[in-house]
Chains A and B, each alone.
Chain A
Amino acid sequence: MGRVVKGINFVSLKDAGDPVELSEAYERQGADELIFLDITASSGERDILIDVVRKAADTVFIPLTVGGGIRSVKDAEKLLRAGADKVAVNSAAIADPTLISDIAYKFGNQCVVVAIDVSKKLDQAGEVIFEVYTHGGRHGTGQDVRQWATKAQELGAGELLITSMDKDGTKDGYDLELLSLIHEITNLPVIASGGAGKLEHMLEAVQTAHADALLAASIFHFGEISIKEVKDYLTANGLSVRPIPV
């Protein structure tokens, strides 16, 4: 059985528990959606992921996105059939961008999340670029996120999951510059990921950087902030948020 882990800057993984139990707990606590990202994603372990998705989908009735190691329409189909509502593609889509259009054509744009891992760099000319990484942050592509996000949209992505590798697990706030940039150049809903540590971070990602959805892992997995606290805080600050059903 797979485990939930969480790292810092994509390394130093800590165990955070059983994925199905955590999913059920998060639904009860008021999570609006769940995302499973299989960070090992070697082909031998695919069946573990499919089994986890199937079990989660039996008992969890909020939208479920699953990503990690999806290389073909067939991979996507297996996960959707197991009960995922959306699939997140990353490395394989960069290697072959038609993966996005192929999945979108068969199952609809709404179920294709394009996950992009980004790190801020200076290029050879000394210009700031937001470089796209693949393979769990191990390979730099040299490509700027602006280019890739625009292309992903053209190919039929329904949503973008933007993770700042620089901020991942640091708890010092989402990368607002990165998120604002993506908001400006695409019309897709953007899920902000990487860096949530305080309630203020969640608010500024929406208010300042126009994120459409907020992803957090560390702060929830290790019990530092509850979903209720986040929702109460955002509501008190004038955002429209689904209340936690009692």
Chain B
Amino acid sequence: MIAVLDYGIGNLRSAEKALLAVGAQARLVSNPDEAVNAEALVLPGVGSFGACADALRNSGLHHVVYDAIEKEKPLLGICVGFQMLFSESEESPGIPGLSVLEGAILAMSPGKRLPQMQWNKLKLSDRPGSVMFREISDEDLWFYFVHSYAAYPIGFLENPVVVATCEYGEEVVAAVERGPLWATQFHPEKSGVMGLTLLRQFVGFVAGHNKGL
């Protein structure tokens, strides 16, 4: 079972439904004792960084995320769920992130309208080991973004976890991948056929990963 962590914010239903649509056994889970037994986690998030990070801690589900990282269980972070994997955000000073990835979330200054609320085309970084986008051809790499803050991993685009970027007045980190840890600034569950293709890839990865364990 893939647990979509339900810590009481926003529209989590679409993440669950999109996973079901690609054949996964997925469920919204709010109880940490139940989530800890899942074979993989999806950490969604919409709204502000601080509101999400506080709600996640209050739910106790942050322990489940740490447990998954430690046990190298597959985890997919989406949007603010992606941002919370870093240590902090300029959006909500004083409210720590999960510090699973090194770096911070900073306000974007693209010289363009914010939020970036649109479909945008990804550029893949040269990461031969990355599997996230393996089934999607370059011209189809369009995904839906909604954000005003962006991730700046240590070393920025040189950081090996960065597997895709997009252009929005500046180069924006669109996806990271570190073994079983996947996370996207964009919303695969709202990115039509290609979003579903990415989710199917994740579900396949989860199945393969568990066999290998």
Q: Does A69 belong to the interface (CB within 8 Å)? A: no
Cross-chain contact B194 with A245 (CB below 8 angstroms): yes
Residue in B117, B119, B196 whose beta carbon sits within 8 Å of that of A110 in the complex: B117
Cβ of A32 within 8 Å of any chain B Cβ, yes or no, is yes
Q: A221 to B188, alpha carbons, bound, how many Å?
A: 27
A107 at the interface (CB under 8 A from B): yes
Note all chain A residues with C-beta closer than 8 A to B88. none
Residue from the list A58, A59, A61, A84 in contact with B11, Cβ < 8 A: A84
Cα A172 to Cα B121 in complex, Å, equals 32
Bound complex: CA A127 to CA B195 (Å): 49
Q: Is the CB of B115 within 8 A of A110?
A: yes
Kindly identify which residue among B46, B115, B119, B187 contacts A32, using a CB–CB cutoff of 8 Å. Answer: B119
From residue B61, how far is it (CB to closest CB) to chain A in Å? 19
Given known contacts A58-B17, A158-B115, A189-B117, A81 and B11 CB-to-CB distance under 8 angstroms: yes
Q: Are A83 and B47 in contact (CB under 8 A)?
A: no
Residue in B13, B18, B46, B113 whose beta carbon sits within 8 Å of that of A212 in the complex:
B113
Interfacial residues of chain A within 58-88, with CB under 8 A of chain B in the complex: 58-59, 61-63, 80-85
Complex interface: chain A residues within 8 A of B121 (CB): 240, 242
The yes or no answer to A40 lying at the interface (CB within 8 A) is no
Interface residues in A15-31 by Cβ distance below 8 A to B read: 27
Bound Cα distance from A84 to B113, whole angstroms: 23
CB distance from B92 to the nearest CB of A (A): 12
| Min CB–CB distance A188 → chain B (angstroms) | 7
Cβ-defined contact, B139 with A111, below 8 A:
no
We find that the number of chain B residues with CB closer than 8 angstroms to chain A is 32
Complex interface: chain B residues within 8 A of A242 (CB): 119, 121, 142
Given contacts A61-B195, A62-B144, A245-B192, contact A81 B14 (CB under 8 A): no
Interface: A90 (CB within 8 A): no
0/1 string, B167-205, CB within 8 A of A gives 1: 000000000000000000001011111111000000000
Q: Is B70 an interface residue (CB 8 A)?
A: no
* Cβ of B176 to closest chain A Cβ, rounded Å: 21
Q: Decide if B140 is an interface residue (CB 8 Å cutoff).
A: yes
Bound CA span A80–B9, Å? 10
> Which of these, B14, B48, B194, contacts A85 with CB under 8 Å?
B14
Q: Contact mask B75-117 → A, CB, 8 Å, 1/0?
A: 0000000000000000000000000000000000000011101
Judge if B146 is at the interface, Cβ distance under 8 Å: yes
Complex interface: chain B residues within 8 A of A189 (CB): 113, 117-118
Task: Say how far B65's CB is from chain A's closest CB, in angstroms.
Answer: 21
Query: Is A81 within 8 A of B13, CB to CB?
Result: yes
CA of A27 to CA of B48 in the docked complex: distance in angstroms? 29
Interface residues of A in 95-132 (CB under 8 A from B): 106-111
Task: Answer whether A245 and B14 are a contact pair too, CB < 8 Å, given A63-B144, A107-B47.
Answer: no
Residues of chain A lying within 8 A (CB to CB) of residue B14:
57, 61, 83, 85
Contact of B21 with A by CB under 8 A: yes
Contacts of B60 in A (CB 8 A): none
Q: What is the distance, in angstroms, from A13's C-beta to the closest C-beta of chain B? A: 30
Find out whether the CB atom of B118 lies under 8 angstroms from the CB atom of A110: no
Question: Is A61's CB under 8 angstroms from B115's CB?
Answer: no
Q: Which of B119, B147, B190 contacts A61 (CB 8 A)?
A: B190
Residues in B neighbouring A62, C-beta threshold 8 A: 144, 190-192
How near does chain B come to A145, taking the closest CB pair, in angstroms?
19
CB-CB nearest in chain B for A62:
B192
Q: Can you list 7 A-B contacts (CB < 8 A)?
A: A32-B144, A57-B13, A59-B21, A80-B10, A83-B14, A108-B47, A110-B46
Q: Which 4 A-B pairs have the closest CB atoms?
A: A108-B47, A245-B193, A242-B142, A242-B119
Chain B residues in the interface with A (C-beta under 8 A): 10-11, 13-14, 17-18, 21, 46-48, 113-115, 117-119, 121, 139-140, 142, 144, 146-147, 187, 189-196
